[in-house]
């Protein structure tokens, strides 16, 4: 008989730790109240998959997660992974910003051990809750050798997603997570099955290490619409180091906003032309002359993850060309 993997399960709050008054409260409930031990208590059969150790790190909704929370989660997971008696980690997390935390870990952890971030769309108290099955699947994925060396994963609705690609695309349905190029695989009855692997650099192949990261630079997102005023852009520019411009369509910039974004560059703020559509490519020097304006382009990343990427990139360089290569590499 092969030995069971040792998996640490870290609680941070979210719907997976939530509780409603009645079973039909699938959307109205209190988040972040159940201890990770209590959630694990609902899936006793998970002990057949792995030897489990639980840790309650935080107890709050992921909409509250600042850069400091990301650092705290990352450093805590990294410490766990460094131990010889830990083979992988599962992080129970709110779903709202699960993609951001997962991507941050994907880019900064220095380990090949599996890390799975998991949440649920319905609390354990609700009818048709996905909390138990998602956590069970996440443990199955973290415990399985086929999950090693492929970066941080997000597991939900029987799917395994790469942290790079996944985004929350629905506010209440169980089928809320999607990756533009599809999931990496499925989980069925405690068995992960992979059909593809991430092609972009992650974990050991990145230039960031969670161990050496301290204060993170400020990067903000501006969401574009036709009536957006230049003053709103300038107000953000005045207090940030990087600005992700979530433009319409393929990163279009309204004519009356071009000067405000050019002025931002003049003030030393890095401007990234992105798209608010949720998928697709923003082509450099396509809709706008990015080289001439000193703007960066996002490639295919969504604005919330472009923020994570630029935040990390700015810890190491201010050079425009180097920053652009970051968007093409990760």
Site for ligand DGL (CB under 6 A): which residue of 7, 10, 14, 130?
14
Establish if 62 lies at the interface with ligand DGL (CB under 6 A). Answer: yes
Active-site choice (2, 12, 15, 101)? 15
Which H, E and C letters describe the chain, residue by residue? CCCCEEEEEEECCCHHHCECCCCCCCCCCECCCCCHHHHHHCCHHHHHCEEEEEEECCCCCHHHCCHHHHHHHHHHHHHHHCCCCCCEEEEECCCCCHHHHHHHHHHHCCCCCCEEEECCCCCCCCCCCCHHHHHHHHHHHHHCHHHCCCCEEEEECCEEEECCCCEECCCCCCCCEECCCCCCEEEECCEEEECCCCCCCCHHHCCCCCCCCCCCCCEEEEECCCCCCHHHHHHHHCCCCEEEEEEECCCECCHHHHHHHHHHHHCCCEEEEEECCCCCCECCCCCCCHHHHCCEECECCCHHHHHHHHHHHCCCCCCHHHHHHHHHHC
Establish if 61 lies at the interface with ligand DGL (CB under 6 A). Answer: yes
Residue nearest to ligand DGL (CB): 94
Residues 228-267, mask of contacts with ligand DGL (x by CB under 6 A): ----------------------------------------
Tokens, residue 142: 């973290």
Q: Which is nearer to ligand DGL, 31 or 298 (CB)?
A: 31
15 is catalytic: yes
Establish if 100 lies at the interface with ligand DGL (CB under 6 A). Answer: no
Tokens, residue 135: 């956590």
- Residue 307 CB, shortest distance to ligand DGL, in Å, is 17
Establish if 96 lies at the interface with ligand DGL (CB under 6 A). Answer: yes
Establish if 138 lies at the interface with ligand DGL (CB under 6 A). Answer: no
Burial class of residue 158, CB neighbours in 10 A (0-12, 13-18, 19+): middle
- Residue 104 CB, shortest distance to ligand DGL, in Å, is 15
Q: Which is nearer to ligand DGL, 200 or 307 (CB)?
A: 307
Site for ligand DGL (CB under 6 A): which residue of 7, 8, 9, 31?
31
Q: Which stretch binds ligand DGL (CB under 6 A): 7-15, 105-113, 154-162, 288-296?
A: 7-15
- Residue 16 CB, shortest distance to ligand DGL, in Å, is 6
Tokens, residue 168: 């929350």
- Residue 198 CB, shortest distance to ligand DGL, in Å, is 24
Q: Which is nearer to ligand DGL, 98 or 213 (CB)?
A: 98
Establish if 26 lies at the interface with ligand DGL (CB under 6 A). Answer: no
Establish if 288 lies at the interface with ligand DGL (CB under 6 A). Answer: no
Establish if 95 lies at the interface with ligand DGL (CB under 6 A). Answer: yes
- Residue 26 CB, shortest distance to ligand DGL, in Å, is 11
- Residue 62 CB, shortest distance to ligand DGL, in Å, is 4
Location of structure tokens 């609680």: 11
- Enumerate the active-site residues: 15
Q: List contacts with ligand DGL (CB under 6 A).
A: 13-15, 31, 61-63, 94-96, 119, 121
């Amino acid at each position: 008989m092969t030995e069971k993997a040792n998996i640490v399960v870290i609680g941070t709050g979210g719907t997976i730790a939530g509780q409603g008054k009645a079973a039909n409260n699938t959307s109205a409930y209190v988040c972040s109240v159940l201890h990770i031990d209590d959630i694990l208590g609902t899936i006793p059969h998970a002990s057949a998959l792995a030897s489990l150790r639980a840790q309650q790190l935080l107890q709050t909704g992921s909409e509250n997660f600042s850069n400091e929370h990301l650092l705290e989660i990352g450093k805590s997971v990294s410490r766990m992974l460094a131990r010889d008696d830990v083979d992988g980690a599962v992080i129970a997390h709110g779903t709202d910003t699960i993609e951001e935390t997962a991507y941050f870990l994907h880019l900064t952890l220095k380990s090949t051990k599996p890390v799975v971030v998991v949440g649920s769309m319905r609390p354990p108290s609700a009818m048709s809750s996905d909390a138990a099955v998602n956590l069970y699947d996440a443990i199955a994925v973290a415990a399985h050798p086929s999950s090693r060396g492929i970066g941080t994963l997000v597991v939900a609705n029987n799917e395994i997603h790469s942290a790079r690609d996944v985004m929350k695309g629905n506010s209440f349905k169980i089928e809320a997570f999607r990756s533009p190029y599809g999931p990496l695989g499925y989980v069925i009855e405690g068995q992960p099955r992979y059909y593809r692997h991430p092609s972009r650099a992650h974990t050991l192949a990145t230039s960031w290490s969670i161990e050496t990261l301290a204060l993170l630079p400020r990067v903000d997102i501006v969401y574009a619409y036709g009536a957006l005023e230049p003053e709103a852009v300038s107000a953000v520019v005045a207090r940030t180091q990087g600005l992700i411009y979530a433009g319409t369509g393929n990163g279009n910039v309204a004519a009356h906003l071009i000067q405000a974004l050019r002025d931002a560059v003049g003030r030393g703020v890095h401007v990234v032309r992105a798209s608010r559509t949720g998928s697709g490519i923003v082509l450099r020097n396509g809709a706008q002359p990015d080289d001439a304006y000193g703007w960066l382009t996002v490639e295919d990343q969504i604005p919330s993850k472009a923020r994570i990427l630029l935040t990390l990139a700015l810890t190491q360089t201010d050079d425009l060309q180097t920053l652009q290569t970051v968007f093409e590499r990760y």
